[in-house]
Amino acid sequence: SSIYGDYIKSVIRTVPDWPQPGVNFRDITPLLQNSAAFRKLIDSFVHRYQELEVDAIAAIDARGFIVGAPLAYELGCSFVPVRKKGKLPFKTISETYTLEYGESTVELHSDAFREHDRIVIIDDLIATGGTMLAAASLIARSGGHIVELASILDLPELGGSAKIREAGYSVFSVCS
């Protein structure tokens, strides 16, 4: 985690029993409403990646876009959306993964970046890790070099970040 980790964590709200009984939903909207906190958040990612020669930030639909776009802007690299099925208009590759109940599919444009480009994948939160691993698979299949998978918040008790590390990727979260 970053030096601002405890502060960032303090501005994430927990909403009990949403979207269903027994789930504690981690809500980042108070963090986004707080301009000082949002700046510290983006600065944490910029600081971590500015010397690593990143070619593209691949951000995950939808909340990953909120952090991915300002990060790409600050790093002066490209922004690549990894989107839910049916949203990207050009030629796509897709990856289907299992959720707690059912499945989901994410897609990437076939011309999103060049082979061997250095990519950081970013999202708001790692729960089971399924979404991040599906995105990583898309990037790897397209010939990208994955520098790291990054999130604002990790929920380690759900095992996602451990699973991602077992798959051989580096993971960075601002807080957990």
In the complex with ligand HPA, the residue whose CB is nearer, 25 or 73, is 25
Tokens of 152: 């604002």
Q: Does 125 bind ligand HPA (CB under 6 A)?
A: yes
Binding at 68: pick from ligand PRP, ligand HPA, none (beta carbon under 5-8 Å per type): none
- Identified binder of ligand PRP from the candidate list 44, 160, 172, 173, rule CB under 6 A: 160
In the complex with ligand HPA, the residue whose CB is nearer, 130 or 144, is 130
- Identified binder of ligand HPA from the candidate list 1, 5, 9, 26, rule CB under 6 A: 26
Name which of 23, 22, 39 is nearest 31 in CA terms.
Answer: 39
Helices first, then strands: H and E counts in the chain: 6, 9
Q: Does 131 bind ligand PRP (CB under 6 A)?
A: yes
Residues 24-83 that bind ligand PRP (CB under 6 A): 60-63
163 vs 175: CA distance, rounded Å:
18
Tokens of 140: 């790897």
Q: Does 130 bind ligand PRP (CB under 6 A)?
A: yes
Tokens of 136: 């990583």
Q: Does 174 bind ligand HPA (CB under 6 A)?
A: no
CB atoms within 10 A of CB 163: 17
Phi-psi region of 166 (alpha: psi -120 to 50; beta: other; left: phi over 0): alpha
DSSP annotation of 53 reads T
x/- map, 89-108, ligand HPA, by CB under 6 A:
--------------------
Q: Does 95 bind ligand PRP (CB under 6 A)?
A: no
Q: Does 123 bind ligand PRP (CB under 6 A)?
A: yes
Contacts of 15 (CB under 8 A, 6+ apart): 24, 25, 27
Q: What residue ranges bind ligand PRP (CB under 6 A)?
A: 60-63, 123-131, 160
